[in-house]
Amino acid sequence: MRPTIKTRLEQPRPAGADLAGDRGTMRAVEVTSERQLRLTDVPRPADPAPDEVQIKVRSVALNHIDVWGWRGMAFARRTLPIIAGAEAAGEVIKAGCDVTDLRPGDIVSIYGARTCGTCPACREGRDNFCETLEGMYGFHIDGFLCEYANVPARIAVKAPPGLDAVGAGLAPITFGTVEHMFFDNAKLRAGETVLVHAGGSGIGSAAIQLAKAAGAVVITTVGSEEKAVKARALGADHVINYTKERFESRVRKLTGRRGVDVVFEHVGPQTWPGSLLSMARGARLVTCGSTTGIMAETNLNLLFQQQLKLLGSFGCTRRNMADAMAKLAAGVVKPVIDTTISLEEIDTGLKRLESRQVFGKIVVAI
């Protein structure tokens, strides 16, 4: 079924909207069923709780989790309709009475999941290991494709001076995920060679820049000559058009048959076997996703004989977000924006992302 989006004038006032009182309403994009969206009016949030801040959402970056949420995922435990949007930043307009480190006017990047804040992992700053996770914003619980949102102050990470909401809005998933993959899990070091898959994707374009800034030699794959030019401009040392040659063969040639030290994986079955063949002895493969499916064969002989290390990586920490924003503010890396759209154009944005015709990020300006 073709995805549709209706304007708020075509939608009835949501049930309970009359209870909003003086708060009024706000615009929001909701997922109502499989591949069905609506732009509608919903009640604006009440004043924030003592430990919360209320944020005027300024920028939302689209990700594959938004595509999956829009498509409908059998394993997702959620109740529809749900406000979409997982990666966002905005301006604090109200702070709860217990909040001391944020105030109105601050630009903040919002962590992509509502974590408990009290389990051992959360207390250690490892929110992506939360034991009682309430859910991912925009996928399990209401997200940020709306005008205002209340969130726990602890997951609103203040942006450094000079960084706007567009840059801050790429920290929770785009740059934060890559920070966690490269530096917490793969332990990437200067002088190493890294293979970045899908260099034209949002996290791929971030990975090229972060790896290069760390002093690595960067090999990346893309699906067109146009994307190859853009990947080189971001700093990639070698670019492989996987539609014209097998990337693993080219990687072996580029490295003198040695292979790379780190593979940055997020594609899945289509690249998994070749990724293993691209690795040097003792190399690390770190993966954060599987956009082409969830099942892939692994050559176990290759795994143990070459002493390869396979690392799973999920999300990021708030420290990763802060580190990413510091690099963005300093100009070490930059946002790579494919398209900027409005709430009314979410239908177009999701279809463009699903088609894999993007280079960088699709950003919703609110």
Residue 249's pLDDT is what?
Answer: 98
> Given a cut of 50, is residue 9 above it in pLDDT?
no
Reported as a single tens digit per residue, the pLDDT across 313-366 is: 999 999 999 999 999 999 999 999 999 999 999 999 999 999 988 999 999 999
Name beta bridge partners: 262: 194, 284
Of 322, 347, 352, give the one whose Cα is nearest residue 167: 322
pLDDT at 23: 75
Mean pLDDT score, 76-105: 94
CATH code, 175-312: 3.90.180.10
Q: How far apart are the first and last CA of the chain?
A: 28
What are the φ and ψ backbone dihedral angles of 102, each rounded to 5 degrees? -135, 150
Give the pLDDT score at 259. 98
Q: Is the pLDDT at 17 greater than 60, yes or no?
A: no
Indicate whether 1 pLDDT > 50.
no
Rounded CA Rg of the chain: 21
Q: Comparing 8-170+335-365 with 175-312, is the CATH topology the same?
A: yes
Residue at token pair 């999701």? 350
Distance CA 34, CA 12 (A): 20
Closest by CA to 324, choosing from 137, 305, 54, 316, is 316
> Is residue 10 scored above 80 in pLDDT?
no
- The predicted model gives 121-147 an average pLDDT of 96
In tens, the pLDDT along 183-242 reads: 999 999 999 999 999 999 999 999 999 999 999 999 999 999 999 999 999 999 999 999
At 114-127, the pLDDT tens digits run 999 999 999 999 99
Higher pLDDT, 127 or 20: 127
Q: Count the alpha carbons within 13 Å of 149 in the hemisphere toward its beta carbon.
A: 35
According to DSSP, the residues that pair with 57 across neighbouring strands are 90
Question: pLDDT tier at 21 (50, 70, 90 boundaries)?
Answer: low
Beta-strand pair 148-152/52-61: antiparallel
What are the tokens at 137? Answer: 């914003």
Q: Which residues have CB under 8 Å from 10's CB, separation 6+?
A: none
Distance CA 254, CA 247 (A): 10
252-288 pLDDT per residue, tens: 999 999 999 999 999 999 999 999 999 999 999 999 9
Banded pLDDT at 158 (limits 50, 70, 90):
very high
Bridge partner residues of 250 (DSSP): none
Cβ–Cβ < 8 Å for 167, 355: no
Residue 248 identity:
E
Q: Which residue, among 254, 255, 272, 256, has the nearest Cα to 264 in the 3D structure?
A: 272
Select from 45, 47, 41, 43 the least CA-distant residue to 16: 43
Relative orientation angle of helices 346-354 and 64-71, to the nearest 10 degrees: 110
At residue 2, the pLDDT reads: 32
Task: Give the residue with greater pLDDT, 2 vs 242.
Answer: 242
Residues near 155 by Cβ (< 8 Å), separated by ≥ 6? Answer: 110, 111, 113, 114, 115, 127, 318
Instruction: Tell me the two tokens of residue 49.
Output: 């709780």
Q: What is the pTM of this model?
A: 0.92
User: What pLDDT score was predicted for residue 149?
Assistant: 98
42-75 pLDDT, tens digit each: 999 999 999 999 999 999 999 999 998 888 765 5
Give the rounded percent of residues in the chain with a pLDDT score beyond 90: 88
pLDDT band (50, 70, 90) for residue 18: very low
Using left for φ > 0, alpha for ψ between -120 and 50, and beta otherwise, residue 21 falls in: left
Cβ atoms of 61 and 202 within 8 Å: the answer is: yes
Instruction: Domain 8-170+335-365: give its CATH architecture.
Output: Alpha-Beta Complex (3.90)
Residue 110 tokens read as 């919002």
pLDDT band at 76 (very low <50, low <70, confident <90, very high): low
Q: Is omega for the bond preceding 81 within 30 degrees of 0, making it cis?
A: yes
Q: Which residues in the chain belong to E strands, given as ranges?
A: 25-33, 36-43, 52-61, 82-83, 87-95, 107-110, 113-114, 135-136, 148-152, 156-158, 193-196, 217-222, 238-241, 260-265, 279-287, 309-312, 337-341, 361-365
Domain boundaries, the chain: 8-170+335-365, 175-312
